[in-house]
Chains A and B, each alone.
Chain A
Amino acid sequence: MRHLTDIPDLTAEEIDELISVACDIIERPDRYSQVCLRKKIATLFYEPSTRTRLSFETAMLDLGGSVIGFSSADNSSVAKGESVADTIKTVSCFADIIAIRHPKEGAAYVAAANSSVPVINAGDGGHSHPTQTLTDLLTIKREMGRLGDLTIGCCGDLKFGRTVHSLISAMSRYSGVRFVLISPEELTIPDYVRCDILDKNHIPYKETRDLETSIPDLDILYMTRVQRERFFNEADYVRLKDTYVLTPEKLAGASDNMRVLHPLPRVNEISVSIDSDPRAAYFRQVRNGKFIRMALIMMLLGLTPGF
């Protein structure tokens, strides 16, 4: 039984294959519209995440399948205190594949260990969110035409931002990748990313506090949200949340080929006036998320278009 609880569950070749299938789906969606006929995905969302849930559900619908599940823990058996293990054992009797979102770290691991059908981690607390990372990789590939020889700026909350850690890890295996890590002192990348990923693989990187002077060198600017829930006191949050806001003035220094990515939802770290700039790729990124999830569902179910 194949599951996806974290990016390391996939080999480099499988990631490349997912990206290439997603690109093919974008080119010829009709070819894939019946692949999951009569298959059901259960989206088990123990905490609301509308964007991610709709992306999974639309992915399954566009493959010709259907959807069951719940969108919050309030009105399900979960509210009566059922364990993740028991819920998964039950749901895997009904569904062909499960996507689980849970506020606790490791919930997807528990789900996978108790499921008789493939489980996809749709985010487990601050831990991992592998389909976001796959979405980011597909977006970089489509926007830049390549995944190597890139200077990638990561800006914002680099300490708690799981999507950034996962992106750095996933991009580190492509040649010629450099990182510019832009964050306040309090939110720099954790040691395990610095030592176990960057230093260990001899990846060049620079840490800086300054977004404006870093922008001209970048091919990709990956913006992240500074999350309120990561702070123990409100004053620290208020002081830091506006530090790294991308404005048209700052973007003016960027190359025409640079692309701005963001896992969304944003608070105010990207000025709305940038949305119409061709360099703003974050809504195209949302669209890519559906296509990579279609490719992933097919891979885990062992299904192909068949003609």
Chain B
Amino acid sequence: MIELRNVSKTYPNGTEAVKRVTVHIKPGEFVSLVGRSGTGKTTLVKMLVAEEKPTEGRIILGGWDITRIRTADIPMLRRQIGVVFQDFKLLPRKTVYENVAFALEVAGYGKKHIKDVVPQILALVGLEPKAKEFPDELSGGQQQRVSIARALAHRPKILIADEPTGNLDSINTREIVDLLLKINSFKTTVMLVTHNREVVNSLRKRVIAMEDGKIAYDEEKGRYVL
């Protein structure tokens, strides 16, 4: 599903953020990407959604080589990969429902389709009763669930979460991780980037650890040992 071959990224200022990384993630897998701050995890995520282009190597997603993706094709790519971040990136003046619908509106979907799909996704993330509320009326965990719901609006095959629990307490963290597991159980490939040792160790799923832009280890049912 996700294939990185010898991928390197050097930023224009000379920082070598990622160095010759080779990874293969199969469809339906749940992978945790861990590592200390500044080891290139976010850079890797950015290359997967074509926000940055690799300096070397190749990136193939579901058979699509996006290494030299054309600007015009980037929106198509982003509809096939859902991404969530630590800062939920919600629109404060839109309700929960509208925030999720927004992803479909900007892609040109009709009102009817939106009316069908959004409640389903809100039900999936357990936010149906909050549909009419605004983001600042919700807890951090609930806001992150809205953000996940929006990432799922296009029914992507891949969901990438870059430190989704960075701003949350342990109860909310647990809820978000459970939600990611639930999404994974529907065959969506999930990549969880995190610092949270407890979470990673409790998951008992594949762990890829990065150190200084390189892969330090990559283990099935791994643990966070760095």
A-B complex is real: no
Q: Which residues of B contact A (CB under 8 A)?
A: none
